[in-house]
């Protein structure tokens, strides 16, 4: 099937197998490897991208379902060489260890902050519960999200 998508602001037209998962389309067809494959069962959140303004787990979405959509991956978050405040906060607050989950965490955190610009620690933990980090105790990730929310409010 032929699909048309806009990924990180770039229009793409590709022929894809109807069974191709969006995560494989992004990684294999477009070379956007920031989106990770962590579980293939929608449990870990490493594959989270933004599609038409909402986060989706790209390991459970077919590429053909994205036809006509606008998708943002971690590669499209920084603008003009400037990190987004969420990316900056993850860097400054050490909200990453190996980095495998980081892209999905950042995309999820961005949506969380868009919906709630002043979240509590409890609300951040609740908002990130669909994302698993196997390296940390989440404290620095939560600190990073809270710092990003504060930076975006300033």
Assess whether 70 and 89 both reside in one domain: no
Which residue intervals of the chain are DSSP H helices? 22-24, 85-92, 102-115, 121-127, 139-153
Residue 41, judged by CB atoms within 10 A of its CB (0-12, 13-18, 19+), counts as: exposed
State whether residue 2 is helix, strand or coil.
strand
d(CA 49, CA 32): 11
Please count the CA atoms within 13 angstroms of the CA of 152 that sit on its side-chain side. Answer: 24
Assess whether 72 and 8 both reside in one domain: yes
Total Cβ atoms within 10 A of residue 37: 16
pTM for the model: 0.95
Assess whether 89 and 71 both reside in one domain: no
In the prediction, which pLDDT does 30 show? Answer: 98
Domain boundary among 50, 76, 102: 76
Assess whether 69 and 89 both reside in one domain: no
Assess whether 96 and 141 both reside in one domain: yes
Q: Token pair of 33, please? A: 């490897």
User: The domain that contains 28 carries what CATH number?
Assistant: 3.10.20.30
Of 58, 72, 65, give the one whose Cα is nearest residue 114.
72
What's the pLDDT tens digit per position in 16-44? Answer: 999 999 999 999 999 999 999 998 788 99
Assess whether 6 and 30 both reside in one domain: yes
If one counts the domains in the chain, the total is: 2
Assess whether 12 and 52 both reside in one domain: yes
Domain boundary among 59, 76, 93: 76
Range of the domain at 60: 2-76
Between the two ends of the chain, the Cα-to-Cα distance in Å is 46
Compute CA distances 25 → 28, 46, 131, 153, whole Å. Answer: 5, 15, 21, 35
What's the pLDDT tens digit per position in 93-136? Answer: 999 889 999 999 999 999 999 999 999 999 999 999 999 999 98
Q: Which residues of 110-135 are buried (b: 16+ CB within 10 A; e: fewer)?
A: bebbeeeeebeeebbeebbeebbbee
What's the pLDDT tens digit per position in 4-19? Answer: 999 999 999 999 999 9
């Amino acid at each position: 099937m032929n699909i048309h998508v806009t990924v990180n602001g770039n229009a793409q037209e590709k022929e894809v197998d109807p069974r191709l998962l969006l995560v494989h389309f992004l990684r294999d067809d477009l070379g956007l490897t920031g989106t990770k494959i962590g579980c293939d069962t929608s449990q870990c959140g490493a594959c989270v991208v933004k599609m038409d303004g909402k986060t989706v787990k790209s390991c459970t979405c077919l590429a053909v379902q994205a036809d006509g959509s606008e998708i943002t991956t971690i590669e499209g978050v920084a603008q003009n060489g400037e990190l987004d405040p969420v990316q900056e906060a993850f860097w400054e607050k050490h909200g990453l260890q190996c980095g495998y989950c980081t892209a999905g965490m950042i995309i999820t955190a961005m949506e969380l902050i868009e919906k709630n610009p002043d979240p509590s620690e409890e609300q951040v933990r609740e908002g990130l519960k669909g994302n698993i980090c196997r390296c940390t105790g989440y404290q620095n990730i939560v600190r990073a999200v809270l710092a990003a929310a504060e930076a975006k409010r300033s």
